Each structure stands twice: as structure tokens, then as C-alpha cells.
Amino acid sequence: MRESTLLRWTALILVSATMFFGYMFVDVLSPLQTLLQQQKGWTPEVYGTFASSEYFLNVFVLFLFFAGIILDKMGIRFTGLLSCTLMIIGAAIKLYAISSYFVEGGAVYDFLNSFVPSFPASAKLASIGFAIFGCGIEMAGITVSKTIVKWFTGKEMALAMGIEMAIARLGVFAVFRLSPYVANLGTPDIVRPVAVCGILLCVGLLSFFVYSLMDKKLNSQDKTIQLEDDEEFEEPFKFSDLTKLISNKVYLIVAGLCVLYYAAIFPFQKFATSMLENNLGLDTTDAADLFSYFPIGAVVLTPILGWFLDTRGKGATMLIIGSVLVFVCHLTFALYPFQSGDPTSLFVAYAAILLLGVSFSLVPAALWPSVPHLVAPAYLGSAYSIVFLVQNFGLWLFPILIGFVLEKTNPIAILNANDGVYDYTYAMLVFASCGIFAGLLGIWLKREDSKHGYGLEEPNVKK
């Protein structure tokens, strides 16, 4: 089946659809930070803590570590369907938490409100749901990565990964357009867009179920890959393999670069709409529309760069350039003297967002296809899971850090929740610093590759 171009790319589209709807739900509340503060009383620090909760169980309960082991031991079908189920359960809890049904007087509400009353009960329950959802979406991410390696090894692997990421990024574009529009239909309401994206998660589960039928057929044909259930593994996973990962210096450099780079991307998405509202004096819908162009650069360029990586190589170089570009973008938002209603300021904002999109095509296109160069196939799932685990630590920490920085540098805005203006200078400098350190790790990685020949600068397609 892998030799069939149609079936190979059909499998990719099915698993990519699951990630598309998952990424929509990840950021469904990101354009609505101001509305959350007005309707639910969530300050930036509360919102930052909620945003970080997506990664809490992955980091502190080591769920992603176990997710990789589950993937290597139980296989793609079981792990993928489990991840979709966790996403839907977490989404349902989050939806209930912000709905009118979760009110004072209920047993769960009163219990949650009995400790740390300054942190709203709705945010506490929503954080619990988001943490469960986060387990599902990250488990789905490593499952899809291993799925692509399974179908595209020796073929257009980087291109396939690039297209999968492009489709997932379209979910970000869609939700930044859809969420404010749906929320403002009639009386402004944050519940409506969350409910719509929750329904779409069920469509994603159905999409992965259809893929599972293809995966089962493929496993019945191919006896040389790592199989599931009662079939024999050519090279079975062993727990001792994990020591090979944590002692692999180049693999750890990739993991460090991953956590620093993505800390400057996904946490920024949570605050980008509010930042643009304050820097440019835009309303929520216009600010969300402006930021929605961020993933467009990634959507257009990531498949092209994947093709380039497959045929020409230069993966380590792409990591360095992408890290520098993210630094330039965030430094622009930190230091440029933006003025409300100024066409030049609007142009600079658009240019910086599109530059960030170019960066977000360079780094992921090169990062994820580099992992199979560094580890054996038998523990590839665990290798991806540990990278995601380290990444999740940064994604958990940085929303809390940015919320803290905003509160400490904007005390007057916190007191005037409905009309306060936030200064994002220091917050954006924190994001910019991540780009610098990621770039330094990229340079180190390129030096190691040139010394030891890991193949990071070489094309993936073997002639």
C-alpha cells in the first residue's frame, strides 16, 4: 500500500484532518482574551495559567513520556484513537466550565471556589479540561509523526510532514477567523465558538477511525515494520533504549532547540490578539484577523521547504535561519513605536506577522524530519515523545511567565479590566530571547552534524 501514491497521500490527509480540528480547539479562546476578562473576570495572570494548563499533565505527570511508550508498544491505531477520545473528554469539561450551567451553588463550583478564591472556579475547571485535552493533542502529534515515518520512509517524508503541518496550521488560521465571528453573533458569548470546535473534534475522531482501517490493512501486508498486537516486531522496543536517547548529545540539542523555539510561538499565539489590540488600537475581531495571517506563510512555504529538504537537504541551516527570524519578529513588536491608526505601523505589524510565518515554516519543516536521522526506528515513538515532553515544559512555563510579566508591568490596567491598556514591551522581549538561544543551539547542531555526519544537511530522498 505504501507504494501506491494515492493510498499514501490519502492516509496523510486523514491524519492531518484530525490535527486540523485539534489545532482549532487549542486556540479557540486565544482571540477572546479580552472578552474572557470582561465576562469571566480572567486577568492576564489567570488566563496565562489557564493557557499553560494544556501542558500540565504532559510535564508533571510525564504523560507524554508514557504516551511514547504506549505508541511503541500498542501501535498507531490504539494510540491515535485514545488520543482523540482524550481530546473530546477534555473539550467537554472545558465547555461546561465556561457555560452558564457552571454557576455558584453547584457542588463542583463551590468545591473549586473553596481554595484560592482569587482564581475563578470557571478557570480552574477549564484548566482541568484543557489539561486532559492537552494529553490527547500531544499524543496525537507524536502518533501522526510516527504515522508519516511509517508511510513515507525513503520517499517524500519531509514533504509529507510539511503538508501535515501546513494543514494543521490552517486550523490556526481558521479559528482566529471563526472564533471572534461566532462569539460576536448577536450578544457576545465565549461559549459558542468552543461548542462549534468541540463538535469538529468529533469529526477528527471519525477521520482517524477511517485511517485506522487503512493502517490495519497495511500491517497485514508488511511483516518487516513494527507491528501491533500478536504480530512479531523486527526490532522490539525495550525500556533500556531510553538511556540511548538521554545520552545522545545531538538528540538533546534538537530537544533544547525545540523547547526554546516553540516557547516563542505557541504561547505567543495565546497573547497575540491582545498584544495587537493594545499596540495598534484594534478591536478584537480586527486584531484576530491580522494575526490569522501568521500561519499562512507556514501553510504556503512548509510543503515547499519539505520538498527542498527531501531533494536538497540543508536542514540544520534552516533551523538557524528560522530561529533568527522569530527573534526579529518579536523584537519588532517589543521596540517599534506603533501608533494607533498609523498605516506604517499597520504595515510593520503585517510584515512582522508574515515573517513569523516564514520562520514557522523553516523550523518545523526541518526539525521533525531530523529526529529519524538520530534514533533507531524501534524507539522512534519514544524519541518523539521525549522531544514533545521537553517542548511541553516550555509551553507550560511561558504562558504563566508572560501573564506574570504583564501583571507586574501593568498594574493600572489590571485595576481597570474593561478599559486598561497593556504595555507588551517586556513580554515581547522575553519571547525574543527564545529566538536568540534557539539560534545558538542551531549553530551548535550544525557543527556537530558536520563533524559526525548525521545527515541533517543531506536530502531525505535516496536515489
The predicted structure's pLDDT at residue 93: 96
Q: Domains along the chain?
A: 5-221+240-452 (1.20.1250.20)
Q: How far is CA 63 from the centre of its chain?
A: 16
Half-sphere exposure of 457 (CA within 13 A, CB side): 14
The ranges of the chain with pLDDT < 70 are 222-241, 378, 381, 411-420, 460-463
What is the C-alpha to C-alpha distance for residues 19 and 133, in angstroms, rounded to an integer?
Answer: 13
The predicted structure's pLDDT at residue 350: 93
What is the C-alpha to C-alpha distance for residues 411 and 415, in angstroms, rounded to an integer?
Answer: 7
Amino acid in the structure at residue 444 = W
What is the C-alpha to C-alpha distance for residues 157 and 161, in angstroms, rounded to an integer?
Answer: 6
The cell numbers describing 44, all together, are 492576564
Per DSSP, the residues of 164-184 read HHHHHHHHHHHHHHHHHHHHT
What is the C-alpha to C-alpha distance for residues 251 and 361, in angstroms, rounded to an integer?
Answer: 21
Burial bucket for residue 411 (CB in 10 Å: 0-12, 13-18, 19+): exposed
CB-based contact 215:40 (threshold 8 Å): no
CB-based contact 281:290 (threshold 8 Å): no
Query: Residue 462, Cβ neighbours under 10 Å: how many?
Result: 8
The predicted structure's pLDDT at residue 192: 95
Q: Tell me: the pLDDT tens digits for 342-398?
A: 899 999 999 999 999 899 888 887 887 788 888 777 677 678 778 878 888 888 999
Longest C-alpha distance within the chain, in Å? 68
Based on its alpha-carbon atoms, the radius of gyration of the chain, rounded to whole angstroms, reads: 22
CB-based contact 139:64 (threshold 8 Å): yes
What is the C-alpha to C-alpha distance for residues 295 and 361, in angstroms, rounded to an integer?
Answer: 9
CB-based contact 142:64 (threshold 8 Å): yes
Query: 428: closest CA among 405, 462, 454, 396?
Result: 405
The predicted structure's pLDDT at residue 235: 47
